[in-house]
Amino acid sequence: MRTRVILLGLFALTLASQASQASAEPAAPTPAPTPTPTRTATPGTVRFAAVGDIMTHWIQIQAAWKASCKCHDFAPMFADARPLLADADVTFGNLETTMPGDPRRYTPKGTVLFGAPDSLADAVAGAGFDVVATANNHAADTGGVGVKNTLAQLDRVGVLHAGSWPSPEARAANPVLRFEKNGLRIAMVAYSYGSNEGKPDGAALATLAQGTLEADVRTARVGADVVIVSLHFGEQYERKPNKKQRAFVGLALAAGADVVLGHHPHVLQPIERIEVDGRSRLVAWSLGNFVANYRMRYTDGGIVLGFTLEKGQSGVIIKDVGYRPVYVHVEKDGPTAPRFRILPALDYLTAGRLPASAHKALQQFVADTAELLGPAAGLTTASR
């Protein structure tokens, strides 16, 4: 195996013109709407978008409460980020929570036992997600019942899922998620390093300790044009991959994976092009947080990773690789629960669109991201 690593730069963005006449620090800033692009399907070509952790801390559950309907509405949380996902044929994220179906199992205050209302599934689908990983260390936070209802809710809204099953028998029958888009046959497997709450009673979860990663990737390779592997692994808050991460990615690539999408550290880690046996593969070691209640430096955002999969004569080519940074802004309006917004970070670099403290934090996040992933100018693409 011969390996060659290339670090990627920042994805170029054309910023929408702003017509807002708001004051310098509006209490509840509302960005001018970004036009939603219309993508024309191209046979044999798939534009893919991938984001990191979608979480539901206690305060996020409170923020989603809507008194008018006495229900939880998570759609506003995703609204600003929808245009960033709209030009993708397939959008992926790591769903790092459960939907237990019982309000008594929603995320308790002061804990990280994640449980969310079923309406989260509607918001995820409405934001444009096509497939999510359900293999992560919080997958069993509400037990087997939570795993089963989470999958049922995703099925209800038409979002595909990989990494957990309603029963061991279901996993044995379908260990690999398979779907087709624009004539491209895509196979996906998802694994977690483990589960905080152990094995989910009656359900099944793919963990790296089970030692089946290589076999599942080889199974996925059969009949697929492209194999994508989701790995929930690494050390929290570490901005570089460790030896264990590199070992597991090496196993996945050697078994036939084309793309590896990592998450769990809650911070960004490098994006790399790795050449294996003459073919260029793509590894995103950690995609950061897409939405969560983390406010420490490096944890308050993530990226939308974009790449194109194109069927060629000798296999799939991965090209047009880049990213767009997103920042999780928490608006605090008096005594009520705050509002969470996933902001296209580059659209908010100009002062006056956010309160001063939030603007400073966003600027820091963008600078840190550019330092890690590449300069904040121009477009760096992968193999063409």
**Domains along the chain?**
5-11+40-373 (3.60.21.10)
Cα distance between residue 60 and residue 337, in whole Å: 8
Q: What is the pLDDT of residue 334?
A: 57
Q: What is the pLDDT of residue 39?
A: 58
Q: What is the pLDDT of residue 157?
A: 98
Q: What is the pLDDT of residue 14?
A: 31
Q: Are the C-beta atoms of residues 210 and 192 closer than 8 Å to each other? A: no
The 3-class secondary structure across 39-59, one letter per residue, is: CCCECCEEEEEEEEEECCCHH
Residue 248 CA, chain-centre distance (Å), reads 19
Give the H or E element holding residue 252: helix 243-255
Q: What is the pLDDT of residue 11?
A: 42
Q: What is the pLDDT of residue 49?
A: 97
The letter for the amino acid at 212 is T
Q: What is the pLDDT of residue 314?
A: 83
Q: What is the pLDDT of residue 315?
A: 86
Q: Are the C-beta atoms of residues 344 and 377 closer than 8 Å to each other? A: no
Q: What burial class does residue 209 get, using C-beta atoms within 10 Å of its C-beta: 0-12 exposed, 13-18 middle, 19+ buried?
A: exposed
The order of strands in the sheet holding 271-276 is 5-7, 271-276, 279-284, 259-263, 226-232, 184-192, 177-181
Given a cut of 50, the residues of the chain with pLDDT beneath it are 1-37, 376-384
pTM for the model: 0.88
Cα distance between residue 169 and residue 318, in whole Å: 34
Q: What is the pLDDT of residue 375?
A: 54
Q: What is the pLDDT of residue 24?
A: 26
The letter for the amino acid at 314 is S
Render the burial of 253-286: b for 16+ CB within 10 Å, e for the rest. bebbbbbbbbbbbbbbbbbbbbbbeebbbbbbbb
Could you give phi then psi for residue 364, rounded to 5 degrees? -65, -40
